[in-house]
Amino acid sequence: MDEEELDEDELVESPQRKRFRMIGGLILAAIVVLFALQNFLTPVNFELVPLVQYKVVDGDIEDSTSLSLDDAPYQDRLTDFQDDGGRHEEIWEYLTELLPPDVTTSITTFQLDSDGKDEGIAYVERNRDDPSKWLLSVDIDDAYLGNELNSSDLAETLIHEMAHVITLGPDQIDLEIEVNLGDSDEGITQELNELALAACAPQYFSGDGCAWPGSYLNQFYQEFWLDLFDEYDQIQYIQDDQDYQNALTRFYNQNSERFVTEYASEGAEEDIADSFMTFVLEERPERTSSEADQKVEFFYQFPQLVEYRDHLLANLD
């Protein structure tokens, strides 16, 4: 065989080698695509990033303010969320149709945020300048499933947050308590918290003030939390995050029949909020043999709360 024939034979590629080359090319292409998309995909979770705030005026949102994304991850994706005014409007319209007017009129700031997929959908925060008013923040990523509003999960969360608004307002909590809880980044110390608890006793201390004796939250606390509170309160002083989570899990497992959800075991305020959500979304218990059912039944004694339930059910999808 001459030199020219050898060169031509060497150029012939075996089927096996061709398959390897094709597979290698596909893997390389996939890596390139994933790298290109990384800024457009949100991870499971990351630290919450506020995106945009609106003033609420006469039931409408206006004067949007885009918040800084300088230190945020996935900036391209978050910028898309920040600029998506259509979705902002859709979420606002949905919640104003669902929630009773006296609840929505207490919201003076509407915020969109994101902490990735499958974390908290919404939260409320008291307006410190006017404690009768609230900021409502919604995670725009979790509020949607694809291009459709995630109305089921969004409704559940909004009802839970509504419970905070109606149980922690100034008609329910005495916000004038004179207990200096400090400004430390480490949070309230055990000593300061015990001073606040003593100042409020025998009523419930919410962190902002003392619950009025006849308030929903105080009555709920007196009926369902007196024998649990000391054990729960000690957990709050655990510094290590993993030890804290383990202690909360043990607390729930030891008392699971007393709560409508595991999240409800994270304090009287979350308990009343999740119990209220269950009161709204589920049928009235036929029997109240369990404490979880007794908590649902608790709300039926208040005509205003029954009216809220009727309103919410009439406006659910």
* pLDDT per position as a tens digit, 37-49: 544 454 556 889 9
Q: Which pLDDT does position 119 carry in this prediction? A: 72
3-state secondary structure of 122: strand
How many angstroms separate the Cα of 297 from the Cα of each of 79, 141, 158? 45, 34, 21
Q: Residue 61's domain spans which residues? A: 49-149
Task: Tell whether 230 is covered by a domain.
Answer: yes
Task: Tell whether 12 is covered by a domain.
Answer: no
Each residue of 142-194: pLDDT tens digit? 999 989 999 999 999 999 999 999 999 999 999 886 555 555 445 567 787 88
Rounded CA separation 252/242 (Å): 15
| CA 69 distance to own-chain centroid | 21
Rounded CA separation 196/208 (Å): 10
Q: Which of 102-116, 193-207, 250-264 shows the lowest per-residue confidence on average (mean pLDDT)? A: 193-207
Task: Tell whether 40 is covered by a domain.
Answer: no
Domain's final residue, options 149, 165, 182 = 149
Domain's final residue, options 131, 149, 167 = 149
Mean pLDDT of 5-18: 57
Q: Which pLDDT does position 67 carry in this prediction? A: 96
Average pLDDT of every residue of the chain? 88
Task: Tell whether 110 is covered by a domain.
Answer: yes
Rounded CA separation 48/158 (Å): 18
Q: Which pLDDT does position 39 carry in this prediction? A: 45
- Give the Cβ contact number of residue 194 at 10 Å: 13
Each residue of 185-235: pLDDT tens digit? 455 677 878 888 888 999 999 988 999 999 999 999 999 999 999 999 999
* Total domains, the chain: 2
Task: Tell whether 77 is covered by a domain.
Answer: yes
Amino acid at 134: W
Residue 294 and residue 219 in one domain:
yes
Among the listed residues 172, 201, 179, the one whose alpha carbon sits nearest the alpha carbon of residue 273: 172
Task: Tell whether 199 is covered by a domain.
Answer: no
Task: Tell whether 159 is covered by a domain.
Answer: no
pTM tops 0.95: no
